[in-house]
Structures are given as C-alpha cells and as structure tokens.
Amino acid sequence: MSELKPRKDLLDIESLGLDEIEYVLGNAVPFKQLFQRSVKKVPTLRGKTVLNLFYEPSTRTSSSFEVAANRMSADVTNFSVSSSSIVKGESLLDTIETLQAMQSDYIVIRHQAAGVPNIVAKHTGASVINAGDGYHAHPTQALLDSMTFREVHPDYAGKRIAIVGDVLHSRVARSTSTLFHKQGIEVGVLGPGALIPEGRPDFMQRFQSWEDVFDWKPHAIYLLRVQMERQEGPFFPSIAEYHKMYGMNSERLVSMRKLGAYLMHPGPVNRGVEVTDEAMGYEKSLISTQVENGIAVRMAVLHWLKPETQMD
C-alpha cells in the first residue's frame, strides 16, 4: 500500500479515500485482539491528551471514546455541556479559544448543530474527531458498522444492506450508507415517506414494504433508532403504527432467519418500537459486536490521525 497522506481530522465519511478506510479498519483488527489479553493497553498515545467534548447527552459514544483513549494510554478529560446551559448561538469562537487553552492533542466532539466540528477543526491544531453533529455525520459509527459487517461477510463487495427507519434525522444513516456504498455494498432504505428524504443520494433505493426488502435478499438489516426527541413534525401517526409498519417483529424475524440476514442497530434500542424483545434475542444480531468494535475502531482512528500540536 502506498504511503497515506497524513490526516489531521475525521469529520465525515464523504472525504475519506478507500486507502484510508482500509488503513483504519485494518488496524482495528489487532486492537480488537488486544481486548482478549490480560493487559489491554498499548503505550501509543502516552503523554497525549484527549478531550471528550459532548454538547449532546451520550453515554455510549462518549464512554466508547473514553475507553479507546485509555487503552491507547492517553490522558482523557471528559467535558459534557448539558444542553440546557447552552444559549442558542453561543459563540463558537469563545468555545474554541477555551479549547485551545486546554492544549489537547485530540478533540472528540458531539454537537447538536451540523458543521460545528468543521469549524472547530479549522481553528485548532488538535485532531478533531466528529462524534456526531446534527443530522450530518457520525464517521466512527460508520467505521464500526463496516468492521462489524466485514467480520461476518469478509467478501463484502456486492452484498446488500437494508436500512430501516428515520433516514431524515439520522447522521448514522448518512455516514454508514456512504461508507457501505464506497465499499461496493448495495444500500436500500425502508421507512415512512416523510422520513426518507428526496434529496438522498441516488444509490439509496427505496423499498415500499418489508416484502420488497425480503425479496431483495439483504445480507443485513440495519434498524435506525426512532429519534423520539427529534420528531418536531408530524412524520408518522404514532409509535404504535411505526412499530406495526417498520418494527422488527416475530413475523419479520421468520423471514429474516430464512434469509440468514444479520441484524444491526446503532443503539440504544427502543424496545417495542424498532425491535421486539423476541427479536432482540435473534442469534444473528450484531448489536453487541457493534459496541465492542466501536472501541477498536476508535483506537485505530486515534492511532491514525496526526494532530498539528506535536513538535516531534
């Protein structure tokens, strides 16, 4: 493989080259093997600092980054800003100035406004890792999804993944579908019309029903979380109807089992909405593998990015 161009930030999937994706996913494998050892740490980032900056409540993603940074021997500071304390239009420049003063080498940022990580990245020498911004992007989620799918389908090119649910408000759908598409995996979507945006890329074909989805013979079904807090408009009549139309229930589980398709979900799952309790126990569910791979992928990302804060 030819030499990779050093990259400072990970802001989205769109701008990544296949060589970079392969590099990160390739490195994530040995990092994951590390988890089986008695000593789970590598000294790679000793003396470096990682700032976890979360403007949106998140336990899972922020913990995952924290564990990843710890296993790389970095010093981690968690800084969560409760959304209630944020004044709308709070000066981003002031925030960035504060961040600069903390001299972090890596800034992991989640923000409710799309594009904020881009602005932070422009104004700081630290490596900025986007941990989710508005509906825009969640690149480490996409990388962990890819790693997870490739573990069960090493010959992934030409495989098919059906994404089900609220694509409109989902940064996961955007990043994950973009990455799958870059890797030659076909992507289809199912969901209520108002939540499947017209402006989506052409490669995301839309299905009208579960029957159409199963006829397509997907290798995995990726259920999106219903973002109850983001339903600012009347997109579908009720949660019960959503479950009836789009949820993974026992009947659909039968079809899925017949196909041998895997089940994925970015978590946390709304039980009884996207997935019934029965479907949660599906033997081909990859949901907990996704969580585990999240740590490995985030270690690989920390290993890969090159902050401009370092003199050596």
Partner 1 sequence: MRLFKNGKIASGASPELVNADVLVNEDGVIVEVGPSLNGGDAEVTDCSGCVMVPGMFDLHVRGREPGFEHKETLKTCAAAALHGGITGVVLMPDTSPPIDSGNQLKSVQDRIVELGSIEMLQAGCLTAGRAGKELAGYSGLAALGVPMLTDSDRSIDCPDLLRRCMEYARDFDLLVTSHCETSALAKAGVVNEGRLSYRLGLPGLPAISQEISLVRDLALARHTGVRLHLQQISTGVSLDAVRLAKRAGVRVSCEVSPHHLMLSEEDITNYDTAFKIQPPLQKRENNEALLAGLLDDTIDVFASGHAPHTAFEKSADFGSAPWGASALETAVLAIYDRFIRVGKFNWDLLIRKYSSAPRQLVGLDPVAISMGEKANFFVFDVEAETKITPDYFRSKCSVSPFMEETFQGQFRETLIEKY
Q: Which residues bind partner 1 (CB under 8 A)?
A: 14, 88-93, 111, 113-116, 118-119, 122, 133-137, 171, 174, 197-201, 232-233
What residue has token string 């992928």? 297
Minimum distance from residue 77 beta carbon to partner 1 (Å): 23
User: What are the percentages of helix, strand and coil residues in the chain, rounded to 5?
Assistant: 40, 15, 40
The residue among 90 and 278 lying less far from partner 1, judged by its C-beta, is 90
* Cα diameter, the chain: 59
Output DSSP code: residue 38: S
The residue among 134 and 272 lying less far from partner 1, judged by its C-beta, is 134
Number of C-beta neighbours around residue 265 at 10 A = 24
The residue among 115 and 272 lying less far from partner 1, judged by its C-beta, is 115
Give CA separation, 298 vs 53, 170, 221, in Å: 15, 20, 23
Minimum distance from residue 157 beta carbon to partner 1 (Å): 24
The residue among 155 and 232 lying less far from partner 1, judged by its C-beta, is 232
Minimum distance from residue 234 beta carbon to partner 1 (Å): 11
Minimum distance from residue 177 beta carbon to partner 1 (Å): 11
Q: Residue 109's beta-bridge partner residues?
A: 53, 130
Contact 81, 97 (CB under 8 A): no
Residue among 106, 141, 128 nearest 11 (CA):
128
Minimum distance from residue 170 beta carbon to partner 1 (Å): 9
Minimum distance from residue 235 beta carbon to partner 1 (Å): 13
Strand ranges for 92-236 from DSSP E? 106-111, 127-133, 160-164, 186-190, 204-207, 220-223
Backbone angles phi, psi at 136, to 5 degrees: -75, -65
The residue among 117 and 307 lying less far from partner 1, judged by its C-beta, is 117
Strand ranges for 9-155 from DSSP E? 49-54, 75-80, 106-111, 127-133
The residue among 114 and 280 lying less far from partner 1, judged by its C-beta, is 114
H or E segment to which residue 263 belongs? strand 262-264
Minimum distance from residue 176 beta carbon to partner 1 (Å): 13
The residue among 39 and 87 lying less far from partner 1, judged by its C-beta, is 87
